[in-house]
Structure 1
């Protein structure tokens, strides 16, 4: 497995990051745990999730599945760089979504409970919140870092100018700011090359592509469907190896 530093940070992560959006929804917990174990055995130390995953019926379910896996011990938590996200509506009541300081505070506590851990290595803003000032967001994130509940801050689905605005505000507060941006990026979806990639390079922000295989299209999922092939855990583990 190849490892690299995440953006300009000193954090070393595997170049392959295991996305978990379907865990608990389309992938049963036992199978999800086998996939996580196979990834760890292959040297993948980077696991990404979000508080929303498990929607629409069970938001938070995926974090619970991962938390149960981490709780099995065996060095799973110590060997894993754990990333999750905040922003999405987790209920119908006011302040149950967005990036207000109040929601960030409540959301991180809920994620920590579901993940059964005392800290999150990479806490990512899932989307831009145009109604919350950056000073408020960075103040909330700085409190979490000081409390030891998160280590690094990242973003997802940001435009290039959002990255610039976030970083310049963080700089004014003498904070490190973002270390990563997670964007929709693959051979068919390359819009981020226009502004997001140049902005990330300028500010030393690592780029994490989501859906790198375009929901399996670039991996031959349509061909496999026509042939009646079902991708199994064994094949996934072999691919990781």
Structure 2
């Protein structure tokens, strides 16, 4: 049996004001599996995603990646860049002063990848997200859908072991969301990277994911 790409064991996240946003979550995502976290606003799904990424400190339980504890009792939490995961946010969070190509290359630059390899990897990512020829385009000229494709390419460029997507389509109109959901599914399956996809839209979850996990009031309802 393969080791999960990421696993939560009795994970809880409580804020300083005493509010528990995530409570006693057990969840394992297999290598290459796409899991959707589905739930209404305030259900705890985005908080759990941020806990996996290291953007929120868990208050109890453990988070493991490739069977290595990255957060938990007696462990110094690994920062985001040491967890081997990429993240796509709702608004994309592209760097406005960088071109499309340099946005995609950002993580590669930070890792010290030589320029020729960066250029080759950027070209591969542009092809993957169907934006060939966009390398020198200012990101300020992109449509919402194009911007999210660039954000996806930027997260995939460093070859993460896990991709975390926090409602990446919620700011787009319905027709575009439906089309891009299909595209994201195809892109993720072609890369064989495990992914956790947060959404409040059941149809979107069904389109993108292999498995849907429903969360409400900080607890898993169905898995």
TM range (shorter): 0.3 to 0.5
Q: So what's the TM-score if we normalise by structure 2?
A: 0.39
Between the two structures, name the one with larger relative contact order (CA 8 Å, sep ≥ 6): 2
Q: Is the helix fraction higher in 1 or 2?
A: 1
Q: So what's the TM-score if we normalise by structure 1?
A: 0.37
